[in-house]
Amino acid sequence: MDDYARKYPDVPFALHMSGDFQGCPSTVRTAAPPRPSDFRIEKEIGQGSFSTVYVVREIATGSQLAMKVVNKQYVQRNRAVDSVLMEKAVLTRTNHVFIIRLHCTFQDTSSLYYVLEYARHGELLSYLNRLTSFDIPCARFYTAEIVVALEYLHGQSIVHRDLKPENVLLTDNMHIKLADFGSAIILNDPKVKAPGFTGTPEYVSPEMLSPHSAFEDDSCDGSQGSTSPSSSTDLTYLMDFWALGCVLYQLISGRSPFRPERDRHPYETFGKIFNLSYTFMDGFDPDAKDLVQRLLVIDPVKRLGSPTSGGPSGLRTHPFFTGVEWETLPNQTPPELVPNIVPIAPAGWDTLPANLEDQKYHLPNEFNLAIGRLTDGDRTHYFTLQEQQNPYHRFTRNRLILKQGILFKRRGLFARKRMFLLTEGPHLFYVDVDSMQLKGEVPWSSFLTLEAKSDR
């Protein structure tokens, strides 16, 4: 028995425990407990604080799967055992089209292994980074699928607690799979200990930050089971709806509502959350705006989805979801991912060129074609080089630079030398070359054109 097993004798990763591998294929389960040699690693697709995720091929069946390899020593050293076990507990309890499926778990002397369904198209965040934002049909569709997934989890007494675009994966047919349940809690089950909260600051609900939060003690591990319908048990689910409001805002605007201007201490983010310090860009869809405002409510009792605000059905019936056919979502063809480009003000349209309609989407479409030619591997390669070699990378908000060049920005008699950076999104930043300071961003719209003012 290894040191980990001796220290944590009740950890249900121990291979001898009956029923531990109910998710394993029968060919593996009946022959012998699974082991790393049953799988061939094809490529690495992600890294977490104590784990690495690979695409693997199961040798016996030829199935392509994802394997999450968790470092035991790191888990032990950082007291993350509860988080590791919570993820397994959630995955073994769930069976839903919008939840990542657990294939099997096993361990060796150094690592714990989760073998999972492989979501081929990766994180929703990667597409959001490429396009910066989604148009309303895309945002509506993916938000609706997240709502269905959350409703299922809450029906199983599970609260995700770390909902964000990184934890929404996309399958072959571009439907969602919620993943990463290390921060989750299972209510009303004293056998499963809730992990200490490890969510992401920008998506944390204000009740999680309260010094008197019911979620910072052991009450989450099942002791809330005897509480009344209006108690904190019901309200616990609402932290996921707060995060849903943050995600919807980000899908449409391209950034989370409470993201600090620079990488600063999380307390700055927490202050913005408590003060509801966020704004909507011009042209933000009014129904989406209303939904965000009704989800980002400090008092969870008044938050949309609470028992006093219509319950879960209050979400489905919100005007933003008008036209959504909820029951057939898994079988629908997702809308094509398109950036949300807000039109310019209509004033003066009668003076625009007659052929403007033909040119209206020229730039965005050309941009989409450009990024479409990059595979995920190519983008990762170029982005890594950019991080290592390009001194202007720090001004791009972690977006890939497509083109860059020097232009002289003239005001009055003076011309100032600026480096212009065209990035994914699209975004067009300009930087003072001498002081190496970001000076601004050129607003991007469907009508953006270039005009030579002088040949000097």
267: helix, coil or strand? helix
Residue 281 pLDDT: 86
Q: What is the pLDDT, as a whole number, of residue 213?
A: 53
Over range 111-128, report the average pLDDT.
94
Give residue 36's Cα distance to chain centre.
Answer: 29
- Which element (helix H / strand E) includes 305? none
CATH 3.30.200.20 domain residues, the chain: 3-116
**pLDDT score recorded for residue 228:** 35
Average pLDDT score over residue span 439-447: 70
Q: How many helices (H) and strands (E) does the chain have?
A: 15, 14
| CATH topology assigned to domain 356-442 | PH-domain like (2.30.29)
Q: Taking a C-beta distance cutoff of 8 angstroms, is the pair 436, 391 a contact?
A: yes
pLDDT of 399-420, one tens digit each? 888 888 888 766 544 567 888 8
As a whole number of angstroms, the distance between CA 228 and CA 207 comes to 19
CATH topology for 3-116?
Answer: Phosphorylase Kinase; domain 1 (3.30.200)
Res. 282 pLDDT band, cuts 50 70 90:
confident
Q: Which residues are annotated as a binding site for ATP?
A: 68
> pTM value?
0.72
Burial of 338 (0-12, 13-18, 19+ CB in 10 A): middle
**162 tagged catalytic:** yes
Q: Are 23 and 33 in contact (CB under 8 A)?
A: no
What are the Cα distances from residue 5, in Å, to 81, 91, 278, 377? 12, 22, 47, 38
Intervals of CATH 1.10.510.10 along the chain: 122-331
| Residue of 82, 162, 180, 240 marked active site | 162
Confidence bin at 233 (pLDDT 50/70/90) = low
d(CA 286, CA 252): 12
Strand order in the sheet with 168-170: 122-123, 168-170, 176-178
Give whichever of 113-117, 371-375, 447-451 has the largest mean pLDDT.
113-117
pLDDT exceeds cutoff 50 at 224: no
pLDDT of 372 over the 80 cut = no
pLDDT, tens digit (0-9, with 9 covering 90-100), for 352-362: 444 444 444 34
Position 295, amino acid: L
122-331 folds as Transferase(Phosphotransferase); domain 1 (1.10.510)
Please determine, for residue 275, whether its predicted confidence score (pLDDT) is greater than 50: yes
404 contacts: CB under 8 Å, gap ≥ 6: 392, 419, 420, 421, 422
Which of 437, 338, 289 is CA-nearest to residue 131?
338
Contacts of 5 (CB under 8 A, 6+ apart): 11, 14
Q: What is the pLDDT of residues 159-197, one digit of tens each?
A: 999 999 999 999 999 999 999 999 999 998 777 777 776
Q: In the chain, where does the domain assigned CATH 2.30.29.30 lie?
A: 356-442
Summarize pLDDT for 309-326 with one digit per residue, the tens.
888 888 999 999 999 999
Res 124: pLDDT: 95
**Secondary structure of 90-143 in HEC code, one letter for each residue:** HHHHCCCCCECCEEEEEECCCEEEEEECCCCCEEHHHHHHHHCCCCHHHHHHHH
| Interaxial angle between packed helices 124-131 and 362-372, expressed in degrees from 0 to 180 and rounded to the nearest 10 | 140
Q: What is the DSSP letter of 323?
A: T
Q: Which residue in this structure is represented by tokens 């405002």?
A: 293
Residue that is written with structure tokens 């009344």 in the block: 228
Nearest to 204 by CA among 272, 278, 143: 272
- For residue 286, what pLDDT band results from cuts at 50, 70 and 90? very high
| CA dihedral for 120, 125, 130, 133, sign (positive or negative) | positive
Q: Is the pLDDT of residue 435 over 90?
A: no
Encoded tokens for 49: 């604080």
- d(C-alpha 396, C-alpha 217), whole Å: 40
Mean pLDDT for all residues in the chain: 80
pLDDT at residue 384 in the model: 86
Binding residues, as ranges, are 68
The enclosing H or E element of 407 equals: strand 401-411
